[in-house]
Structure 1
Amino acid sequence: MKRDTRIVHSGRGGKHAPGMINVPVYHASTIVFDTVAEFRQAVAKRNEQVLYYGRRGTPTQWSLADALTELEGGAGTVLYDSGLSAITGAILAFIETGDHILMPDSVYEPTRSFCDMVLRRLGVETTYYDPMAGAGIADLLRANTRLVFTESPGSLTFEIQDLPAIAAAAHARGALVLNDNTCASPLTYRPLDHGADVVIYSLTKYVVGHSDAMMGAAIANEATLERLRRAGYLYGHSVSPDDAYLALRGLRTLATRLERQAETALTLAHWFKQREEVDRVLHPALPDCPGHDIWKRDFTGSTSLFSIVLKNDSDAAMAAMLDGYEHFAIGFSYGGYESLVLPSNPSGVRTATSWSGPLIRFHAGLEAAADLVEDLEKGFERFNAA
């Protein structure tokens, strides 16, 4: 099946909800058994999809996990209560005191903070690397390097990493490769097909798609699944069945939403390229974006996100532009139906590469592209008048 068709049908059917299009919301904590034999059978199969205890899941969570596993071509999925929980939970599943890990310099800022504030305290060393290192990552691998983390595209600066080259170098030295694929979405990139051992998502973004639920997921290959599941259980990760239901509902329309939003985002990116106020447009589909050739080779499309760098970095002028937007609300996250804008300055957190000055990240929603362009045009009028 094509991916659009799999999105509609994956995780559904008689296995979890016979005769129903949508799996119901199953609330459960304690599960009771009629006999000791039934109890012991459940205990023996507690790592499978059997009713055992609410934290182990119900058909609502299992349906979502099955759908994600099928979409990614993985061996299994662990669900978390946020995207950051998925990142930290996956990392903690594979490291211990004395280990060394590699992180791209463009990584999501909370991931960086986790490394610097938590992993350091636990005796795990992090080295930040140029996201464009590719096969050159081999020079940074040590005997105690346990994992290489990747994020492609970068969530603010949109570098595309050469995951196959990184994975080949890491695996040759016995290191695992984790990939945060949130920015690319499950529709435009399949990291497990390109060498990743575990792919991570903030389902809060594109999958939920309506800015009303927090959730994360990690989908593992066969070699890493049991260790990921065991860590998820030991750390007590669990998700609400109500939120799992919302994620399932959002998943069914993801292909249609993302196609429209990606088209709008590319329209806006090309429009920004023509503006004299703009120094750079960071969008993976544009030839001058770092890693564009890799994007053309490995990705099937782009999404709703891109950033711009202005020639005039006056904070007052930028604030005047952003404060007056009608359709672009200022806020974190992305992937919902509404357009968003986020001012940021990556220069304060880069250590392996250099970055100078602020940027503005845009998320294209489902509004008409013409209305968004008009909004942006008025914004530049305020910018130039400030």
Structure 2
Amino acid sequence: MSLDLTTHLIHHPYEPEPGFAAPQPAVHKASTVFFRNTAAMRGADRRRKHVYSYGLHGTPTTFLLEERLAALEGGEHCVLVPSGLAAITLVSLALLAQGDEVLVPDNAYDPNKAFSAETLARWGIGCQLYDPMDPDDLASRIGPRTRLVWLEAPGSVTMEFPDLTALAAVCRARGVPSALDNTWGAGLAFQPFEAGVDLSVHALTKYPSGGGDVLMGSVVTRDAALHARVKAMRASLGLGVGVNDVETVLRSLPSMDLRYRAQDRNARALTDWLARRPEIVQVLHPARPDSPGHAHWQALCGPEGLAAGLFSVVFDARYGTAQVDAFCDALKLFKLGYSWGGPVSLVVPYDIASMRDPAVTDWPHGGVLVRLSLGFEAVADLRADLEQALQVLGSA
């Protein structure tokens, strides 16, 4: 067939020779996916693990990242979604229906608490908060309507490390699926499924990306039935990820362990220094013996285990919110911003009392809490930055 030049540019017969190999995998961008014939088109069941039907449901590039993330966390199945919060809400929507109930730890990531207590309530789904440091409290709250329990290790912002194995065992004994927000552990500090959880949710925005420039999340499980429900809900919601973002995460994964360890090492150096400062009454970091749940962290992660580059400090009660805000504003290397795991150190002040239910858990500290996330700046420079900002704190 003789083709017009314009048509020839679209339907040129050249195809790459097989066998090409390079350090970085190929990037397959597609909305439309071609089928060999009508039989292949009619038989494309996207519920199967690796079937190409439409770009929204997966390409070789997205499937490759899913496989690597499943391996990282010790799972067998993975789906990608546009953010860590999307991964959380996807699990809840996939497993809950009208009349059901979800249990959420009182120290959980606040958007998860808000979605569970407010958005799900509009659809007739109940929500209870529980004390994550008390497995008996969790056990007492699980009832006949409970269809999902959220876990978090450590707690968002306040960094308490629960007895994750005991909490997961409570859920398993009652036949209720447990879902862990494993963004902090990242598959490196501990293996979530060895601890007994059923699903692991991961904000790839943090350590897997490592650049502070990608929004993405994942849901990993070993349970094929749970995976099928999550994958079906993802398809129903039309959730997909940009392949350029997938490429960025794939490029970052090989250095993830090195980056995690470097930020962990720097965090321990700074927390040791901050713990000696008179302005600070508590340093919250799971590797510190005086941090809540340290023994649980040690049991799960090992005596020489990893503890990430994230920690919080509680200021002496003599410093009010305005003074602590002045401290944060005075920092030069630490930037005010949410998220963590990237190259730039971050700081965020929190009003913890407003984030807790006193009927569920007690926040014993009266002082203002500030969370710090370490980037890759030199420890000496970060310490000098904190020291000059503490001088401002005293004079504010």
The equivalent residue for 1:361 is 371
User: What fraction of aligned residue pairs are identical, expressed as a percent?
Assistant: 37
Distance (Å, rounded) in 1 between the aligned partners of 2:29 and 2:167: 42
The equivalent residue for 2:14 is none
Asked if 2 retains the 8 angstrom alpha-carbon contact of 1:102 and 1:147, the reply is: yes
The equivalent residue for 2:282 is 280
The worse-fitting range, judged by mean Cα deviation, of 253-262 and 181-190 is 181-190
Residue 358 (structure 1) shift: 2.4
Asked if 1 retains the 8 angstrom alpha-carbon contact of 2:131 and 2:137, the reply is: no
Instruction: Give the greater-gyration-radius structure (CA).
Output: 2
The worse-fitting range, judged by mean Cα deviation, of 46-55 and 186-195 is 46-55
The equivalent residue for 1:306 is 311
Residue 54 (structure 1) shift: 0.6
Runs ≥4 residues deviating over 2 A: 44-48, 354-358
The equivalent residue for 1:3 is none
The one-letter amino acid paired with 2:379 is A
Residue 73 (structure 1) shift: 1.5
Distance (Å, rounded) in 2 between the aligned partners of 1:17 and 1:236: 34
1:318 to 2:324 alignment: yes
The equivalent residue for 1:218 is 219
Provide, for residues 218-264 of structure 1, a one-character-per-residue CA deviation record: whole Å limited to 9, x for no partner: 10122422112111111211111011111111211111111111100
Asked if 2 retains the 8 angstrom alpha-carbon contact of 1:345 and 1:357, the reply is: no
Asked if 2 retains the 8 angstrom alpha-carbon contact of 1:17 and 1:23, the reply is: no
Residue 135 (structure 1) shift: 4.3
The equivalent residue for 1:239 is 241
The one-letter amino acid paired with 1:384 is G
The equivalent residue for 1:11 is none
Distance (Å, rounded) in 2 between the aligned partners of 1:45 and 1:261: 40
1:270 to 2:272 alignment: yes
SS at 1:185 equivalent: coil
Residue 18 (structure 1) shift: 5.5
Asked if 1 retains the 8 angstrom alpha-carbon contact of 2:47 and 2:228, the reply is: no
Distance (Å, rounded) in 2 between the aligned partners of 1:45 and 1:158: 39
Residue 109 (structure 1) shift: 0.8
CA 1:46–1:136 in structure 2 vs 1: closer, same or farther (change >3 Å)? closer
SS at 2:151 equivalent: strand
The worse-fitting range, judged by mean Cα deviation, of 204-213 and 317-326 is 317-326
Residue 22 (structure 1) shift: 1.4
Residue 370 (structure 1) shift: 0.6
SS at 2:264 equivalent: helix
CA 1:266–1:17 in structure 2 vs 1: closer, same or farther (change >3 Å)? farther
Provide, for residues 17-56 of structure 1, a one-character-per-residue CA deviation record: whole Å limited to 9, x for no partner: 9523212221101112242123234x14652323211111
Asked if 2 retains the 8 angstrom alpha-carbon contact of 1:207 and 1:251, the reply is: yes
Residue 92 (structure 1) shift: 1.1
Q: Which runs of 5+ in 2 are unaligned?
A: 1-17
1:20 to 2:22 alignment: yes
The one-letter amino acid paired with 2:70 is T
Residue 60 (structure 1) shift: 1.3
Alignment of 1:1-386 (within 5 A): 19-41=21-43, 43-44=44-45, 47-222=48-223, 223-299=225-301, 300-311=305-316, 312-351=318-357, 352-355=360-363, 356-386=366-396
CA 1:357–1:377 in structure 2 vs 1: closer, same or farther (change >3 Å)? closer
SS at 1:187 equivalent: coil
The one-letter amino acid paired with 1:230 is A
State the TM-score, normalized to the length of structure 1. Answer: 0.93
CA 1:233–1:310 in structure 2 vs 1: closer, same or farther (change >3 Å)? same
Alignment root-mean-square deviation, CA: 1.6
Q: Which runs of 5+ in 1 are unaligned?
A: 1-15
SS at 1:204 equivalent: coil
Q: How many residues are paired up?
A: 370
The equivalent residue for 1:10 is none
The one-letter amino acid paired with 1:373 is R
Residue 148 (structure 1) shift: 1.0
Residue 281 (structure 1) shift: 0.5
